[in-house]
Chain A
Amino acid sequence: MTFRLAIASLFARALTVGMTILAIALSVALFLGVEKVRTGAKASFADTISGTDLIVGARSGSVQLLLYSVFRIGNATNNVTWESYLDIAARPDVDWIVPISLGDSHRQFRVMGTTQAFFEHYKYRQGRSLTVADGVIMDDLFDTVIGADVASTLGYNVDDPIVVAHGLASFTEHKDQPFRVSGILEKTGTPIDRTVIVSMEAIEAIHVDWQGGAQIPGQSTPADVIRRMELTPKAVTAALVGVESPLQTFALQRAINEYPEEPLLAILPGVALQELWGIVGIAETALLAVSAMVVVTALIGMMATIFSSLNERRREMAIFRAMGARPLTILGMLVFEAMLMAAVGALLGVALLYAGLVIAQPLVDNAFGLWLPIDAPTIREFSVIVGVVCAGAIVSLVPALRAYRMSIADGMMVQT
């Protein structure tokens, strides 16, 4: 009886109730959405590099080195000389080493110089290798391999010509050395998707006629002359290193960090990622706290609407009482109404979240390279729903207790 009355009463006030439910739904969707983005970002960062034991770069900070070498965020403070690179490569405990040279760009995408070994040793998402979706891995000096996002954004196909610019966001382009797209990589969900990969020699070749950041006027070396030149790299931005045995990792790391000829830094990618999360963690917690606050605000909004509805429903309550409803029944009805609103709101919030995810997933992936997985609701989501319903019940107790005390005296008094 109470349930039927409560539901009928809610329907009678469909507009205000609908608004309250919408507020709760939006707040719950926001709260769960923040959580999704947080875990999604974490997973996608952690999945970007695996199988690399050490990253070597100029001495700076471990987080900075990780960010510029793997995530292409920020810039290197210094380069590593080719001599130092060869010295490290020659150490017996180094199993493999892959150089990375950054600094040039193609449109909004970074150009990375590396060797064939990169395709062999770079692993993402627990040991997956890069695969070519179309074409082949570069084998010529002027070949490039482009990431999936580069291809889709710029509409490139295999064999298309490509011009590489010097420096980031620079307008001077290296027009005379046209590169060719030799392969397009499979989508990885890592910064590789937004990278143009060329050989180390190609990076040198681009700069043959360049001095002090500008092209030497009137000088343009033909491609076939460049091919005959010795294009030994002078420097690398960073290097990925694999060790022979994990037992040697710390010794190699220390040897590189104490390398007397040049200030170098070797980091363990996993540890640097953890450090990064230590920094980001504060912002994450703040974000989560703000979204939790939004849920609280929505629930307080519901309390306010119940309070104001009490005014409208003074007569209604008095009639219930006169018909023989006990004060407890009135209280129960109001609390049940609130729980129902909260539950519908929370469920609608979850539905909104999934609808939002379906729409936003490809957009977020394109814009930020962040893959938000659409999984079945977890215990976490259920506990949020249950939490919101309980909080709704508790919040509604305040107006319900008021109604409990006032229902008869208030409604029976003649007021106009």
Chain B
Amino acid sequence: MKQALSLIALIAATPALAEDTRELDVHEHGVGALNIAIEGTTVAMEFHAPGADIVGFEYTAEIDADLAAIKAAVATLATPLDLFVMPDAAACTVTAAQAELESEEGHDEHDDHGDADHAEHAKEAGHTEFHAEYRLTCDNPDALTEISFDYFETFPNANEVEVQIITASGAQAFEVERDMPVLQLGR
């Protein structure tokens, strides 16, 4: 009897196990993340920031004002050199830039979910994140000694950006805060 019960319990539990793996990224308001990789004259950057930092809300935008705010934010995030100002001497130009808003559950792998299911998930988690990817060409990468984070002026809700940089000499991490919005690379 006991065995039968545990077997039933197992069968009952199986669908839940089989559904999919569940995981959730960390999400801290006020803190964005910027990854920079430099190889030769190419600079690849990716940027993540919580919706709260960029537009001030993380619920699903439904009214026009919110939708417009998101649209404007995405457009601003697509101009990296205005947010993360590189020295003129480095002669950097943007070759590709794209920004988007993604909700925590908005990963593409969830194709099997219905749209309704999706929306429900987003409401449950209630967190959204802006995500941007850039590719720059810097004619003189050696002059890339500092980056000014005008980002903090553009987005008053942001307080900190965690920066990771990979160069020929290895990987390094920095924290750039609102009070000291300049990152010294000291290369």
Contacts and interface: CB of A to CB of B under 8 A. Distances in A.
Nearest to A259: B21
B21 A260 contact: yes
B144 interface: no
Given A247-B44, A258-B23, A271-B172, 9 more contacts: A247-B37, A250-B164, A260-B20, A268-B166, A268-B171, A270-B171, A271-B164, A271-B171, A274-B172
Interface in A247-281: 247-250, 258, 260, 263, 268-271, 274-275
Contact of B46 (A246, A250, A258): A250
A245 interface: yes
B170 A50 contact: yes
Interface of B: 20-21, 23, 35, 37-39, 42, 44, 46, 109, 164, 166-168, 170-173
Interface SS of chain A: helix
B93 to A, nearest CB: 16
Contact of A275 (B39, B109, B168, B173): B173
A50 to B, nearest CB: 7
A160 to B, nearest CB: 38
Contacts of A271: 164, 171-173
A245 B39 contact: yes
A218 to B, nearest CB: 34
A246 B35 CA distance: 12
Contacts of B42: 247
A159 B38 CA distance: 47
Contacts of A53: 166, 171
Contact of B173 (A247, A258, A260, A274): A274
A248 B135 CA distance: 12
Contacts of A248: 37
Contacts of B109: 260
A246 B38 contact: yes
Nearest to B42: A247
Contacts of A274: 172-173
Contact of B166 (A249, A260, A263, A275): A249
Please indicate which of the listed interface residues A245, A247, A258, A271 has the most CB atoms of chain B within 10 Å of its own CB: A247
3 pairs of A and B residues whose beta carbons are closest in the complex: A270-B171, A268-B171, A247-B44
Interface in A149-205: none
A330 B173 CA distance: 57
A247 B35 contact: no
Nearest to B44: A247
A246 B164 contact: no
Given A247-B42, A260-B21, A260-B109, A270 B170 contact: yes
Interface string A38-65: 0000000000001001000000000000
